[in-house]
Chain A
């Protein structure tokens, strides 16, 4: 019963991972990847690893997204 949230988040995680690979628009892929990282951070917290959760939220959802958006602004948006 307590694992419903974890299974839901894992479902979203798989959906996000598939969507990142299938999206043609690179900016949309970056945003979905940020959502993937955010779900992953919540999952780390639920797995009792707050240290990794902080790092994942700051690096995965923050810095990586900003760096990829900067890279897209230097190149093309479509794949």
Chain B
């Protein structure tokens, strides 16, 4: 895909899509959306970048190894926050009972562990979809068109 219009438009639009994805992830406990939706939006921006330029430009921004590590890291953040609540003496993924600061309802930094958990889910979903795309596009075989 050597189209200058696609490249120019995607170069303009990718930062805004990524900002919106981070917004949806970080406001997951306040507004519609959350880790899954925001992660999908973020992954869509990276896939758009890699598809409109080429795969080497995409892997230069976020390599295959890094996205694999992030994929495990997001799951580890989720499990770690759950086990941290167990260590603090409550159930798995306990929030208020574990003593996380709840803050004022409606503020960005409120809800205790929910924000960190949502961030972990967002990282996991985004890197999973990017890894899926990389694995699909860089396999063996040649194009017929």
- Which residues of A pack against B, CB within 8 Å? 50-51, 53-55, 58-59, 62-63, 66-67, 69-71, 73-77
Contacts and interface: CB of A to CB of B under 8 A. Distances in A.
Contacts of B57: none
Interface in B19-45: 24, 32-34, 36-37, 40-41, 43-44
A77 B133 contact: no
Given A70-B136, A71-B136, A63 B47 contact: yes
Classify chain B: how many residues form its interface, as a range. Answer: 20 to 34
A59 B129 CA distance: 10
Interface in B91-145: 129, 132-133, 136-137, 139, 141, 143-145
A54 B132 contact: no
A63 B144 contact: no
A73 B144 CA distance: 7
